[in-house]
Amino acid sequence: MNPTIDPANCDARPLNETGVAAGPAAGQSSRPGAEHKPGVAAGLLRLYLIRHGETEWSLSGQHTGRTDIPLTAHGEESARALSPWLGDIHFARVLTSPRQRARQTCELAGLGSAAEIEPDLSEWDYGDYEGRRSADIRKVRADWNVFRDGCPHGETPAQVSDRADRIMARLRTTRGNVALFSHGQFGSALAARWIELPVLDGQHFALGPGSLSILAHNAHHTAVRVIELWNAAVGQPPAVLLGG
């Protein structure tokens, strides 16, 4: 279950080198967006990964790739709840998937005026599995795993990995904070690639709707990429962890 955290009173807990959440450093700011907190690798690229808010299909568990559906009222509420977290942060760039659920989330979070459309942030192309639930797919393909098998007439894991790598390559020379408004299973794949794991390992990085994660660098070993914050449901009740 993803953590629920209040922007007025929280400590962002980075993962240590074993993947276990470490305690906050002494004197660390309570806000994950704080610019000067100890333990942050100053001047290096820091990705704020935001999954779009709830949609009708994220509620039902239907895989939502190309289908362009809006946020629910609750999804809009969770997107607005991101604004206190993101509003005081200086972003060098703001990138969003072209899907309206991601663009809506970006707008409601207060960053729409700075946003650039980035097609590579789109959700996994589910091909023949678009609009279907994992439980239904597994009735005919019992061991199906999108992170290993991809989707017929959709994307393969290698294609999704290439998209994630292209985003990171284009941002390689960027310094400071970048906001990425994206999707559940692509966001999981991006996190895996950020720390140099295969896309298959993205299956271990579940993302709830309206969640905030931070991909950064180890302050003491700046060549090492880390997951500083993962799947934080900002000021909201825990969300159901569903793909799409």
Using alpha carbons only, how large is the chain's radius of gyration in Å?
Answer: 17
The Cα-based distances of 161 to 171, 173, 176, 185 in angstroms read 16, 20, 24, 12
Hey, what amino acid is at 58?
S
**3-state SS class at 132:** coil
> Per DSSP, which regions of 97-243 are E strands?
115-117, 177-182, 211-218, 221-234
The Cα-based distances of 133 to 59, 138, 170, 207, 218 in angstroms read 11, 9, 33, 17, 38
Write down how long the chain is. 244
Of residues 54, 76, 107, 123, which has the active-site annotation? 123
Please state, in angstroms and rounded to a whole number, the distance separating the CA atoms of residues 66 and 69: 9
| 36 tagged catalytic | no
> Per DSSP, which regions of 43-101 are E strands?
46-51, 91-96
Please state, in angstroms and rounded to a whole number, the distance separating the CA atoms of residues 42 and 107: 27
| 123 tagged catalytic | yes
Q: Are 178 and 96 in contact (CB under 8 A)?
A: no
Catalytic residue positions, numbered: 52, 123
